[in-house]
Amino acid sequence: MRTINKEKILNSLGEVVVLLGGQSDEREVSLKSGAAVFDSLNRLGVSVSMIDVGPAIVNDLVTSNPDMVVNMLHGEGGEDGSIQGLLEQLDLPYTGSGVTASALAMDKAISKRVWRDVGLKTPDFVILKEESDWEDIISYLGAIIVKPTRDGSSLGLMPAATAEELEQIFSDKRLGKKEIMAESRIRGTEYTVPILGSEIFPIIEFLEKDCVFDFQRKYGAQEIPIRCPAKLSSDAEFELTEMVRCAYDSLGCRGLARVDVIRDTSGVFYLLEVNTIPGMTTKSFVPKSAQAIDVSFDDLMLLILSDCMEFYNESI
């Protein structure tokens, strides 16, 4: 991990606004992530304020006129390119990926197609529609995980093994009118890997096998057992980190992101998704990964700020 000049970063920073909340299904997680980031910036002595994003967001940003925006909005409206487009129209520097990369990464089906085009492995999938043949899908994919194509925080993940289960999930009114996909369920060990620009943080290994890590499991009272750094051979670690780097680069990501991967029982890695605004709560994986190399939450924020400033040609 590179060294940074804390004093120089803070002296160059100016006014910072943290965007949080919003109106997506991930609002509550965003409020917690944004509050943790705001508290960290306060501890560092940054002149910082928060905006709970709503209909008045344009006026709020114009009034605050920050030198940098730290985007902690999760889900639709926050990590799908929408807020990024607005910030660019207002000529405001912001953390995280840009418009196109955010839109690509937010849509799991599109990102999987991009990865396939560049030769990266990802589980087979089918977009579900009213006219879908449920028997054919199960015959093609086998046991599956059903998920919305454009939700994060593992919202809406549901397993199915039969055509009847699949049809029932598709008819679930809780999914509303969201586009959903069926993805072949890979049995094995899941990993998640934070990445910031060219730097990859320690790999996190989930110790529960064949578990569906849905929203309730990730953010429930009982923490998911993990190992960090992951127990991998040097060859497997190299293979995984190169896959993560390529997944990130192929979508055009920048700033902090987190890549989710699963390794099957024969040792083959498959990409699941890239999170361009990963959680920063007390339960989140990115701060836990940073801790494994003695990078505190505050130091992690300094790295994120420095990376953003460098992108906008203010080299630290």
Q: Which residues are catalytic?
A: 26, 153, 219, 258, 260, 273, 275, 279
In 3D space, the residue among 198, 191, 257 whose CA is nearest the CA of residue 1 turns out to be 198
Is-contact 77 95, C-beta < 8 A?
no
Report d(CA 118, CA 193) in Å as an integer.
20
Which two three-digit tokens encode residue 31? 């409020």
Which two three-digit tokens encode residue 57? 């967001």
Count of all residues that appear for the chain in the document:
316
In 3D space, the residue among 259, 247, 135 whose CA is nearest the CA of residue 201 turns out to be 259
Is-contact 83 19, C-beta < 8 A?
yes
Is-contact 214 146, C-beta < 8 A?
no
CA torsion sign for 203, 209, 211, 217 is: negative
Is-contact 138 163, C-beta < 8 A?
yes
Measured at the alpha carbon of residue 19, what is the angle toward residues 18 and 23, in degrees to the nearest 5? 160
- Neighbouring residues of 35: CB distance < 8 A, sequence distance ≥ 6: 20, 50
Measured at the alpha carbon of residue 3, what is the angle toward residues 39 and 38, in degrees to the nearest 5? 10
What pairing do the DSSP bridges indicate for beta strands 269-275 and 256-264?
antiparallel
- Neighbouring residues of 177: CB distance < 8 A, sequence distance ≥ 6: none
How many helices (H) and strands (E) the chain has is answered by 12, 13
